[in-house]
């Protein structure tokens, strides 16, 4: 395993375990994971089904909490915070992109992108300005008035990315972001994600089963049986 990142970690897991169930039915999804991610990194997380990668992603995204161990964000313990306080961390610091896009079907692209800003109680005019800018960043300024059904799969994922970055998050968590896309569109989406990492300094943590998608990352972490099997710098990711 490689040495810890040179910069102070933005995110850190220390001896983290996660167990579901109890007694003989207990499933140990994570078994004492130590992980550090520095600001500005692009990390891909891989592993077979049941390896713990999705559980780790959920903890990193404050969607779940460790059974034991520490989850630190900016050096502060967040894993033991109440659910509502972890929700605030998600709202103000994290952006999420999922395989299934998760767009509201009868809502325009612009309105979908505005949604996180509504939860922040941003004014209507400012929401419109920020959402328009986010759509421009992903190359869809001209499609803001179209609903999801009027957009291709790649365009829908771009809208989902715009929604994730409209709040200027420190961390973008992407769970199989190209899983529903063809090869060409997958490449376009990954070039976009890479540019957000390089040009805006957004820390990217991505779960993927595809080696060619993981190759876009600078660092590839592989989980097996609830533990980190390998943690290496990618030869292709920059």
156 alpha carbon, distance to own chain's centre:
17
The string of DSSP letters for 207-229 reads E-S-HHHHTTSSEEEEEETTEEE
What is residue 63's DSSP assignment?
Answer: S
Please report the pLDDT score of residue 141 as a whole number: 93
pLDDT tens for 143-200 read: 999 999 899 999 999 999 999 999 999 999 999 999 889 999 999 999 999 999 999 9
Tell me the CA distances in angstroms from 2 to 43, 228, 232, 234, one per residue in order.
13, 11, 6, 12
pLDDT in tens, 45-71: 999 999 999 999 999 999 999 999 999
Structural domains in the chain? 9-233 (3.40.50.300)
What is the model's pTM? 0.91
């Amino acid at each position: 395993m490689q040495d810890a990142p040179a910069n102070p970690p933005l995110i850190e897991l220390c001896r983290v375990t996660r167990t579901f169930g109890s007694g003989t039915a207990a499933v140990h999804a994570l078994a004492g994971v130590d992980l550090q991610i520095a600001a500005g990194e692009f990390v891909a997380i891989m592993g077979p089904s049941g390896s713990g990668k999705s559980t780790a992603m959920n903890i990193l995204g404050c969607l779940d909490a460790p059974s034991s161990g520490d989850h630190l964000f900016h050096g502060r313990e967040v894993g033991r915070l109440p659910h509502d306080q972890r929700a605030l961390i998600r709202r103000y610091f994290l952006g999420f992109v999922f395989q299934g896009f998760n767009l509201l079907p009868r809502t325009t692209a612009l309105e979908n992108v505005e949604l996180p800003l509504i939860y922040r109680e941003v004014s209507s005019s400012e929401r419109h300005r920020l959402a328009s800018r986010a759509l421009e960043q992903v190359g869809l300024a001209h499609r803001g008035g179209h609903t999801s059904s009027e957009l291709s799969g790649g365009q829908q994922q771009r809208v989902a990315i715009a929604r994730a970055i409209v709040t200027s998050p420190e961390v973008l968590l992407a769970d199989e972001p190209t899983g529903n896309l063809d090869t060409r569109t997958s490449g376009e989406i990954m070039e976009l994600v890479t540019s957000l990492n390089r040009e805006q300094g957004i820390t990217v943590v991505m779960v993927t089963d595809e080696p060619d998608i993981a190759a876009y990352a600078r660092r590839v972490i592989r989980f097996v049986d609830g533990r980190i099997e390998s943690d290496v710098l990618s030869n292709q990711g920059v």
